[in-house]
Structure 1
Amino acid sequence: MPSKVTESSVVQCPNCGRRNRLPRTASGVPRCGDCHQSLPWIIEAGDDDFTEVAEAARIPVLVDFWAEWCGPCRMVTPALEQVAEELAGRIKLVKVNVDEAPGLSERFGVQTIPTLAVLKQGQVVGRQRGAAPASELREWVGDALAR
C-alpha cells in the first residue's frame, strides 16, 4: 500500500513496483513511468494550498480531515489508502491535518474527526464522519461519485 505522500515523496506502483515521484497538482492523473498504470494519488494539503491541491483537481477528491493524536484517524488511514489504490486514476486522496489547518476545519464545519468529504469540481457531494472499513468507504465514495 502507498504511504503518505508529501511534496517530495514517491509512491511505489502497485502493478510493477517502480517508485514514482508524484506531483501535488497535475492536468491529468499520475501514471507509472514503466507500466503506465494509474498510481494512487495521496497528498497532504493545508490552509494555504487546499484550493490548488483539492478544489482545482480535475478528478474527484476524497478529503480526510484527521489529527495525529486521533486513534480512529490512525485506524482509518490504511482503509483510505486501500480505496485510493483501488480507485487509482479516478480519485485523489487529500489528507488535511485539522491541527495544522484550522481555517479548513472551520470552513468545512469539521467538529468530529475523522471527517471525510468527497469533492467533485470543488463542490462537496458526500460527507461522512467516523472510521469505517475499506469496503464501506469504497461503496460510500462510489455513491458520492455517482451524484
Structure 2
Amino acid sequence: MTSTTSDALHIVCPHCDAVNRLPPARLREQPTCGKCQKDLFTGQPVDLASARFLKHIERTDIPVLVDFWAPWCGPCRTMAPWYAQAAKSLEPDFRVVKVNTEASQDLGSRFNIRSIPTLALFRGGREVARQPGAMDANSIIAWARGR
C-alpha cells in the first residue's frame, strides 16, 4: 500500500504555530515548518501559554508531554535541566512542552493541577496520563514512553 496525504501527521510549529502536514517517515529528517522555515523539532521544551498550548495539544498528532511548573518551585527548578535533557531523547516521537502555571493560571485550573511539577501526557487533545513530582531525565523518558 502506498502512502497518501491522509497518512500525514499534523505537527504544530513551535515557533509560529502553523500546522504542518508531514509524512511519518520524515519525522527523523529534521523537518522544517512550511510557513516560517524553522525546525519543527528543536530538542528543547517549548514554552507555551493558554491559546498556543491548546492549539498544540489539539492539533499535534504525536503525543504531547507537558511539564506544569512554576518559577518559585524548587523541585521544578531542579527538574528543569532533566526535562530539557529528556526532550532531546523524546523528540520527534513526542512534542515536549512546558507550562508556567504562575503565568497561565487558567491552564493550571482547567487541568486541575494541584501540585507541581506535574507531568501530563496528551494524545489527540485529551490527557491520557499524569505524574506529579520531580523526576530525573531517565525517569521522564521511561514514564513517557511507557504510556
Compute the TM-score of the two structures, normalised by the length of structure 1: 0.72
Structure 2's unaligned 5+ residue stretches are 1-12, 33-38
Mark the structure with the bigger radius of gyration. 2
Deviations 1:91-142 (Å, cap 9, x if unpaired)?
Answer: 1111111011111101111011001101111111110001011111111101
Cα-to-partner distance string for 1:58-79 (whole Å, 9 max, x where unaligned): 2111111101111100111111
- Fraction of identical pairs, as percent: 34
Structure having the higher helix fraction is: 2
Matches within 5 A, 1:128-147: 128-144=131-147
Secondary structure at the counterpart of residue 83 of structure 2 = helix
Q: Which runs of 5+ in 1 are unaligned?
A: 1-20
The answer to whether the 8 A contact 1:24-1:43 is kept is no
Equivalent position SS for 1:119: strand
| Aligned partners of 1:24 and 1:53 also within 8 Å | no
Q: 2:108 aligns with which of 97, 105, 123?
A: 105
1:88 to 88, 91, 104: 91
Distance between the aligned counterparts of 1:46 and 1:22, measured in 2? 12
Give the total of aligned pairs.
122
